[in-house]
Amino acid sequence: MKIKISLLLAASNASRFRTFATCSLLCSSFLASAQAQTAPQLGKAPLKEVIAALTPEEKVKLVVGMGFYPAGFPEGILPPSDPEDRKVPEKIPGAAGRTHAIARLGIPSLTLSDGPAGVRIDPIRGGDSTKTYYATAFPVATLLASSWDTTLVRKVGVAFGSEVRDFGIDVLLAPGMNIHRNPLGGRNFEYYSEDPVVAGNIAAAMVNGIESNGVGTSVKHFAVNNQEFNRMQLNSKVSERALREIYLKGFQIVVRKAQPWTVMSSYNLVNGTYTSQSRDLLTTLLRGEWGFKGLVMTDWYGGKNPVAQLQAGNDLLMPGTTAQTQAVLAALKSGQLTTAQIDANVARVLTLVLQSPTFKGLKYTSQPNLKADAAVARQAAAESMVLLRNEGKTLPLAAGRKVALFGNTSYNLIAGGTGSGDVNRAYTISIAQGLTNAGLIVNAPLTQAYGQYIKGEKAKLPKTKGLLDPAPVIAEMPVDASLLTQQSQAADVALVTIGRSAGEGGDRKVENDFTLSAAEQALLKQVATAFHAQGKKMVVVLNVGGVIEVASWRDQADAILLAWQPGQEGGNAVADVLRGTVAPSGKLATTFPAKYDDVPYSKDFPGRLLASTGQASGNSLTGAPSENTYEEGIYVGYRYYNTFQVKPAYEFGYGLSYTTFAYSNLKLSAPTFAGKMTATVTVTNNGPVAGKEVVQLYLTAPSGKLEKPESELKGFAKTGLLQPSQSQTLTFSLTTADLASFDTATSSWVADAGTYKVKVGASSLNIKQTASFAVPKALVAEKAHKLLAPQAPITEMKLSQK
């Protein structure tokens, strides 16, 4: 009985507790909802009211990200973020960053993810491999730019952006579009070109394609981030003219033509100021002069002073640290950071949130159409590869030909670069597989030998320490003499692939990277000798992310196909071109110099440590104070080679086809320039097979007050697929801005008076048609601000040094 009573008591206590608990839950949720009803909600109340309702702490949360805990980084290596943030489960594992939510005002957290060649997220979640989250590895940026085809790049962007959307990501941290200043730049594969007109137009097509899916992009790294060496503390010293004409112009084009949702400032300093702390760059120029409407975020852990970053107009500090939170809050409380300033930053964060798929509540499947996107990746790769050499019509190869495949990367294709530009893809089609798929016969004994060798070497590789510590490339397999003889007798043709990998965190080297290794040179020589002795040919495929040396060995090759790093469908795309299913139509958007020493100021790349600080070279997360002076000024890439008559191995704009094209009838709309002009030219396929031609318009300006390069690209277009004898007329337009150079003395863009020569051609050195027009009186295209001036005058290369 006693027991019964106590049980009853316990039960009634429990029910009382339940009643109390229910009441307090109800009451507090009633209170919360009452509060929520009174608190202005994002998207419902005017933005101003939402901002006014934020506490200082909440404002700081909105401008500082939620931290970053990538797999493979031991705890403690990266600066900690708010420990509380760690408890919030990641929406998309493997994404690069998140913004804070403020639930009471209806502000959700956004997810940001890399990167330039495909969505970079973890393919497996929580150890459950029954469901995967692979993304398509599209071809790298350098390859896409070689298409010179904005329609094609937009199509890649549309497919790419559909994966961003389908994975529930709000902003893609791409495209990258820094200038290829030097072939050794470790991230050149993530960037498009040495020329800002190509980079800007290709990037604009990419942004427009991606954003057509209702997701955002972050155009990066703004600006002058042309190397990896000490990237967190490197000061790039550049003249205002070179900045405006070369390093900033591509970004200006992308802002004008695509108005991206966001821009990512870079790690480096320009003329003494971190780009993320430069109001000149982020506010006066980007927003003021160019009319950028979106948000600026830092690169991950970029810059030093979070308050200066916000004041500069860098609205979001990514990925966010506790130290930043504390510093910004303290500055806000002390008045060092004004409420008006942080409100402006917050307004841009909230405008981004309002645009985002997360805010709009868009449902996502996490299952993009990988099959359809792979087809786009393959088409883009095949249509952008550059045929560098094709002696005696070595290519295309007929079906059924027996191919002896040499080179590790024939079997182990390098789909893309490393670091944040890498993509977790479901598969990579090797060249061996691609050729087999296309009906060519790949010789088995060689395949077996390489298979065994690669497996053995891979097993010996050290375990990588994460994103910025990629596995080294396997050394080239020495080929046994008897196997070689047997192959040269059995096969119809030899194919040798040379591969290179690079990526974030380090620049490339001259030896065994820009130049071929001794093993690679030996392989080419052996194979060429053995096959030529049998009257058979050797084709070389370059599976590289950046420029390499070709002049010393190319004569041994009958054909050279520059396949770049062609993404996961690379092997199929290489086969499409080798077989002639797709006629090659890519052209170089970056010069292949004859030798490394020909690159202007190559010896000074990537810069020097500032010894005065006594600090040894830092790693890619810290860096050490360093600087690099851009002494070549505006003479970057072909602007240098063509002006100073340094003959490259393959010039800017170069590329062969399986057909040929005739150019005719270049016509200008008027003999005298009156603010606008059009040029038309007719291109005819006068060869044997269907093909597309990239047509380039260069302008040679009169020498007036300012020095001018020999010529500069002002426009480009690609024909449709022209059948033999078919013609197409292309139209280019020129405005005053296209004629103008930046005059530092007057801070304005000026087109000198005189005669301008229009040169339309198949490359920067292969001009097919010319015409001239007059500018009777100098024209000012635009007045600009005086900004970003070097701390001390820079001695730049001059025409008189020719």
* Nearest CB to ligand BGC, comparing residues 220 and 237: 220
> Shortest gap between Cβ of 134 and ligand BGC (angstroms)?
18
Q: Which is nearer to ligand BGC, 173 or 562 (CB)?
A: 173
DSSP line for 598-615: GSTTGGGTT-EE-GGG-P
**Range 164-192 burial, b when 16+ CB lie within 10 A, else e:** bbbbbbbbbbbbbbbbbbbbbbbbbbbbb
Could you confirm whether 576 is annotated as catalytic? no
Phi/psi for 168 (5° steps) reads 80, 25
Tokens for 418?
């490393």
Q: Output 195 or 504, the one with its CB closest to ligand BGC.
A: 504
Find the catalytic residue in 299, 373, 507, 513: 299
CA distance 413 to 441: 18
Contact 420, 221 (CB under 8 A): no
C-beta closer to ligand BGC: residue 163 or 504:
504
Q: Which residue has the tokens 């320490």?
A: 465
Q: Give the Cβ contact number of residue 497 at 10 Å.
A: 26
CB of 318 to ligand BGC, least distance (A): 7
Q: How many residues in total does the chain contain?
A: 802
3-state SS assignment for residue 717:
strand
Question: What are the tokens at 511?
Answer: 């030896």
Q: Are 282 and 297 in contact (CB under 8 A)?
A: no
Residue 583 Cβ, how far from ligand BGC at the closest point, in Å?
35
Q: How far is the CB of 172 from ligand BGC (least distance, A)?
A: 9
Name the token pair of 439.
């009906």
Of 113 and 684, which has the nearer Cβ to ligand BGC? 113
Q: How many of the other CB atoms lie within 10 Å of CB of 774?
A: 13
Beta bridge partners of residue 418, listed in sequence order: 503
Distance, CA of 475 to CA of 127 (rounded, Å): 33
What minimum distance in Å lies between the beta carbon of 96 and ligand BGC?
A: 4
**What is the smallest separation between the CB atom of 802 and ligand BGC, expressed in angstroms?**
37
Tokens (6 digits) for 639: 């602007």
Number of helices (H) and strands (E), helices first, in the chain?
A: 23, 27
Report in angstroms how near the CB of residue 366 gets to ligand BGC at its nearest: 20
Nearer to ligand BGC, 504 or 651 (CB): 504
Tell me if 325 sits within 8 A of 61, measured CB to CB: yes
Structure tokens at 431: 């060249």
> For residue 677, what are the CA distances in angstroms to 201, 682, 731, 772, 775?
20, 17, 10, 11, 11
Nearest residue (CB) to ligand BGC, 97 versus 499: 97
Q: How far is the CB of 93 from ligand BGC (least distance, A)?
A: 14
- Dihedral class, residue 4 (left if φ above 0, else alpha if ψ from -120 to 50, else beta): alpha
Pick 314 or 736: Cβ nearer ligand BGC: 314
Kindly state the tokens that stand for 275: 């780009």
Cβ atoms 293, 258 nearer than 8 A: no
Rg (CA), the chain: 29
Least distance to ligand BGC, CB of residue 238, Å: 20
Range list of β-strands (E), 570-693: 608-609, 626-629, 661-668, 676-685
Amino acid (1-letter code) at residue 699: L
Q: What are the residues binding ligand BGC (CB under 6 A)?
A: 96, 114-115, 173, 220, 299-300, 420, 504
| Bridge pairing between strands 741-743 and 748-751 | antiparallel
Query: Which of residues 284 and 298 has its CB atom nearest to ligand BGC in the complex?
Result: 298
In the complex with ligand BGC, the residue whose CB is nearer, 185 or 653, is 185
Rounded least distance, CB 620 to ligand BGC, Å: 8
Query: 408-439: buried (b, 16+ CB within 10 Å) or exposed (e) per residue?
Result: bbbbbbbbbbbbbbbbbbeebbbbbbbbbebe
- Establish whether the linkage from the previous residue to 470 is cis, with ω within 30° of 0: no
Q: What is the rounded CA–CA span in Å between residue 98 and residue 318?
A: 8
* Tokens read off for 653: 């704009």
Whichever of 202 and 429 has its CB closer to ligand BGC, that residue is 202
d(CA 593, CA 651): 8
**Shortest distance (Å) from residue 298 CB to ligand BGC:** 10
Beta strands in 521-581 (DSSP E): 537-543, 559-562
Comparing CB distances to ligand BGC, the nearer of 137 and 527 is: 137
Question: For residues 275-292, b (16+ Cβ closer than 10 Å) or e, as one string?
Answer: bbbbbbbbbbbbbbbbeb
Cβ atoms 501, 414 nearer than 8 A: yes
- Minimum distance between the CB of residue 114 and ligand BGC, rounded to whole angstroms? 5
Mind telling me the catalytic residues?
A: 299
